[in-house]
Structure 1
Amino acid sequence: MEPGRRLTGVTSQLTSALEVSVRQGGVDLEATLDACCQIFPQLFSRTIQQHATDKQKSPPESILRQSVERHQADSVLPAAGRAPLDFAAVKHHLQTASHRAKALLLQALRRRVTRSSSRADVVETYVAGDLAGLQRVDEYTRHVLSALTPPEPHVVQQSWARLLNCLASFCSGRTYLCMYQPLMDTLLKVLQYQKLDAVTLDMVLATLQKLSLRRPAQTRMIEWGMVEWLVGFLQDHAVIPAYTLEYGCALLMNLCLRTAGRQKCVPHVNSVLKLLTDLLGSNNAQVLPYVNGTLYSILGQPEVRARATKLGLGQVLEYFMEKGSTDLRRQLEYIMRQYRGEGVDGAASDEDDDDIEDTEFLEEDIDADDPVVAEIGEHEGEELLATLRAGSDGAGRTAARRGLSPRQGGAVPGRPVSPRLPSTAHSDSVLVVA
Structure 2
Amino acid sequence: MKFPGKRKSKHYFPVNARDPLLQATPQEQEEGSWVVGIDQTLVDIEAKVDDDFLQRYGLSAGHSLVIDDATAEALYDELMRDALISHQFAGGTIGNTLHNYSVLADDRSVLLGVMCNNIQIGSYAYRYLCNTSSRMDLNFLQGVDGAIGRCFTLIGEQGERTFAISPGLMNQLQADSIPEEVIAGASALVLTSYLVRFQPGEPMPAATLRAIDYAKKHNVPVVLTLGTKYVIQDDPQFWRDFLRDHVSIVAMNEEEALALTGEQDPLLASNIALDWVDLVLCTAGPTGLYMAGFTEDEFKRKTNHPLLPGAIAEFNQYEFSRAMRHQDCQQPLRIFSHIAPYMGGPEKIMNTNGAGDGALAALLHDITANNFHRQKVPNSSKHARGYLTYSSLAQVCKYANRVSYQVLNQHSPRLMRGLPEREDSLEESYWDR
The higher-RCO structure (CA 8 Å, 6+ apart) is: 1
Larger Rg: 1
More helix, by proportion: 1
When normalised by structure 2's length, the TM-score is 0.28
